Chains A and B, each alone.
Chain A
Amino acid sequence: MSELLDLNLVEASKALKNKEISSLELTKAYLKSISDTSSLGAYLEIVEDKAISMAKESDKKLIDGIARPLEGIPIGIKDMFCTKDIKTTASSKILENFIPTYESTVTQNLWNDGAVILGKLSCDEFAMGSSNETAAKGNVINPWLKNKKMSPGGSSGGSAAAVAARSALAATGTDTGGSIRQPAAFCGITGLKPTYGRCSRWGIVAFSSSLDQAGPLTRTVSDAALMLNSMAGYDQKDSTSANLKMPDLIDYLNKGIKGKKIGIPKEYTQDGISEDIVKFYEKSIGWLRDEGAEIIPVSLPHTKYALPAYYIIAPAEASSNLARYDGVRYGARQEASSLDEMYELTRGNGFGDEVKRRIMIGTYVLSSGYYDAYYLKAQKVRRLIKEDFENVYKKVDYILTPSTPTTSFELGKKQDPLTMYLNDIFTVPASLAGLPGISLPVGLDKSGLPIGIQLIANSFDEAGLISTARVLEMSAEFNFIADGAAK
């Protein structure tokens, strides 16, 4: 079994196409690994029968020589993606029994390309959180330093933990302010948030519509390229979807970065950032320089204001997006004698504390008398942040930053919501500007926890992002496997 789990997506795909392995045995290996690592709590729902039948289907295609790009690859799906006939809860009690009658565009794209579903992965409730602790069914445990019960990060904590624990060959995530990149960093894997508009949002439970973007969590940069190739694409059902063709990312894996300009923003190395991360950040700069990139110090002066702007915009949109969870057409209704009482009890009971806080903040900042001071102000600051990036991209091709100010923390240690929000300080700016970003592991800190480094590209330059990330990945030679991973 372990040889099967050792294969990354690209390797497994090759082995499948060469008929060295079958999708059925690969899928079974992953189903076993899901059960071996069940104590991590990454999966909310396992669809064994469906996985087996999809794997068999893939094997037929492989034998017939009509394999599609992801033929036979077993993956996990974040519970924010609606999956037809498979329970989809967004890790919330309010959707505990919701079974969609439709399939999200992104997951449909994956199945159309031959991927096999293993199950649904836990996340923070409605993707609101940075530690996976707001999930209704309880936290997920990071497979790194398993016995210390570290946070996998969030909100795509289940996705990151499953890929790191080798209970999924790859996983989907959604990123609103860092929900792919931050957990990828905490779990020592690669997480890519594409440009806003690259992946369709149709069928993904909405948190903050102007920020939400789907992306892959994988073991390697090449795996991310393969996954995103399938996930991305124009969708007429999403008015914000970009009608732009993405080049085949596989063609960009080995382009190198000679002559490319890498911006190092001075605002990303402030107090509060861990020493080990600073050390690996500097190492990463050196590696890129060694590979022929030109390193250029830059400034993104409004960086400091990204997080406060985000914590107005995202809750504002969320307060409205989550109004539909009212117990009328779906969801866990609390019975009451009047409609308003039914709403209040259903929502009061069905949403967890963090979701309620964000709905309250969002309602407040949009309410009469406060709209201009909070919401409109935040939208103006959002423009300044976007302009910061536009100015810098006149001078450089890519921006390199740490993914997070610290490595993972112990579950239950960060009780104060505001302290938790600071986790996303390096990922939120690119989200506000709609830019593609990738986090990849470059080393371990003193305690043995993975460190992630983030690359940010200009809009729709996922190809260049992949080239650059691949160079960094090869230099870093991060070959560690989590102690809590399936063997």
Chain B
Amino acid sequence: MNDTSTLKPGHIQGETGIWEMVIGLEIHAQISSKSKLFSGASASFGSEANRNVSLVDAAMPGMLPVINEFCVEQAVKTGLALNAKINNVSVFDRKNYFYADLPQGYQISQFTKPIVGEGEIIVDLDDGEQTTIGIERLHLEQDAGKSLHDQHPTKSYIDLNRTGVALMEIVSKPDIRSPQEAGAYVKKIRSILRYIGACDGNMEEGSLRADCNVSVRKSGEEFGTRCEIKNLNSIRFIIQAIQSEAERQVDILEEGGTIDQETRLFDTSTGETRSMRSKEDAHDYRYFPDPDLLPLEFTESWVQDIKEKLPELPDSLKKRLVKDFGITAYDASILVEEKDYVDFYQQAANGRDGKLTANWMITELFGALKKDNLSFSESPITSENLGELISLISNGTISGKIAKEVFSEMMKSKKSPSEIVKEKGLEQVSDDSEILKLIDQVISDNQDKVNEYLSGKDKLFGFFVGQVMKLSQGKANPGIVNKLLKEKLK
């Protein structure tokens, strides 16, 4: 193998040259509605089996679908947030196939005329670069139920609670070129969905899942045959699955083989993909317009109303943070990843040093939360308290070093920083005479070092600063210590 460290992400070095990945994603996002897309049963998660099931969801004879207005609004909102074309007339089609957790024998979806057409989003990569990914379409569809295969040796158990829950399927163009880009794309979509409240983005509970279409080609060549990896429910798995699938395809192609277009599953235990169904069992979905529903139509003014109510979205917020708070684009992109982050940041940084606040939030707070295995919403430190800490640093009440001590106390006790500083007497000492006393003590304790310094060993200056700080228990203002020491040791 050649040295892979120089390869770009998304490139694979083969015997015959460098292969490039071509990736397209289908994201299934559960709409945060109270009831299902076509029935009044609850769309909530985690109930007893078949509790959230209406006669419509169970596809009893003669039952009919009636569409949920909230779900339509969320799809339009999402379309607008993806800078996409809103189709004022769209059609629901039936996708016909048999499966135990698909009671109707068809899924109501949108095939030829989706509610949202082409759009695009800007994706932020880890190296601070940006790339634009095209959106092919967004459509509304029903989720399927759940089959449990491990309850009985010869039987499967069927729970229809999820049957009919509203999903948006967001289909990207095959514009993605590396697993990392795919991960960043999903992050961005998730962030947008959370901003507008269309989906909670919870991947563990399955409210956001992705199917990844992966193929490989030599640079500049036509797209290769693609495989679809189904149902990935974490960004880490998406990245792993794409990498492993692309490598599998390269291995086959390099040995002179061909890729079968097929659906594959990602095995999280092996980190590899495996074939899900064979070609001879290929589906023929027989899409046709659902005769129980009419075309979905809305007016331009209805769309405009929704547009006007859209919250500020990550891209525009990011620009505003850079401008208003003087932080770097990279820091801003981390802060806008989640609506909760931005809200927290804006409260903490309001009227204070924006850069300093961003540093403390991204490095210290995120780091501490990660270490303590806490989610952002569980943070013991509120935005007010972080803001106060920033103020204490900025106005010289405490030094950066003391601030770290105060910070860890805040994580533990949830107390406000001024309370902690007061309790522990951690105010910074900036008074010249107080500090001179400390300097005199250090000089008298270290006369030999003083002589060495005066005879030219300049490096020892740091030692004296350290000794003074130590003596002050870290409370002396380091700037003043520096200045006074220089004068004293002239």
Contact = CB atoms under 8 A, between A and B. Distances in A.
22 contacts: A82-B60, A101-B55, A104-B62, A202-B62, A202-B63, A204-B62, A205-B62, A206-B62, A239-B64, A239-B66, A240-B291, A240-B292, A240-B294, A319-B96, A320-B105, A323-B105, A324-B105, A328-B103, A330-B61, A366-B96, A367-B286, A375-B288
Instruction: Bin the interface of chain B by size.
Output: 20 to 34
B234 to A, nearest CB: 29
A324 B293 contact: no
Interface of A: 82, 88, 90, 95, 98, 100-102, 104, 201-206, 208-210, 236-240, 316-317, 319-320, 322-324, 326, 328-330, 337, 339-340, 343, 363, 366-368, 371, 375
B66 A237 contact: yes
B322 interface: no
Contacts of B67: 239
B94 A320 contact: yes
A408 B103 CA distance: 40
A167 to B, nearest CB: 25
A326 B100 CA distance: 9
A465 to B, nearest CB: 24
Q: Which of A98, A317, A322, A363 has the most CB of B within 10 A?
A: A317
A343 B105 CA distance: 11
B59 interface: yes
B284 interface: yes
Nearest to A364: B286
B61 A88 contact: yes
Nearest to A236: B66
B98 interface: yes
Contact of A363 (B58, B64, B286, B292): B286
A238 B64 contact: yes
Given A98-B61, A104-B62, A204-B62, A320 B294 contact: no
Nearest to A205: B61
Nearest to A235: B64
B18 to A, nearest CB: 37
Interface string B263-289: 000000000000000000000101110
DSSP majority for the A interface? loop
Interface in B437-472: none
A243 to B, nearest CB: 12
Nearest to B288: A366
A92 B290 CA distance: 24
A100 B154 CA distance: 29
Given A210-B291, A329-B103, A82 B61 contact: yes
A281 to B, nearest CB: 33
Q: Ordered nearest first, which 5 A-B pairs have the shortest CB separation?
A: A323-B105, A209-B291, A366-B286, A210-B291, A324-B59
Interface of B: 55, 58-67, 94, 96, 98, 100, 103-106, 154, 156, 158, 284, 286-288, 290-294
Contact of A237 (B60, B64, B103, B284): B64
Contacts of A326: 98, 105
A441 B64 CA distance: 35
A316 B106 CA distance: 13
A367 B283 CA distance: 10
B287 to A, nearest CB: 8
B69 to A, nearest CB: 12
Contacts of B59: 324, 329
A320 B55 contact: no
Given A82-B60, A95-B61, A209-B292, 7 more contacts: A208-B291, A239-B67, A240-B292, A323-B104, A326-B105, A366-B96, A366-B286
B96 A324 contact: no
Contacts of A236: 66
A238 B293 CA distance: 9
A90 B61 contact: yes
Contacts of A375: 288
Contacts of A209: 290-292
A369 B100 CA distance: 27
A159 B161 CA distance: 39
Contacts of A88: 61
Contacts of A320: 94, 96, 105-106, 286, 288
A202 B63 CA distance: 6
B66 A323 contact: no
B61 A206 contact: yes
Nearest to B290: A209
Q: Which of A101, A240, A320, A363 has the most CB of B within 10 A?
A: A320
Contacts of A238: 64, 66
Contacts of B293: 239-240
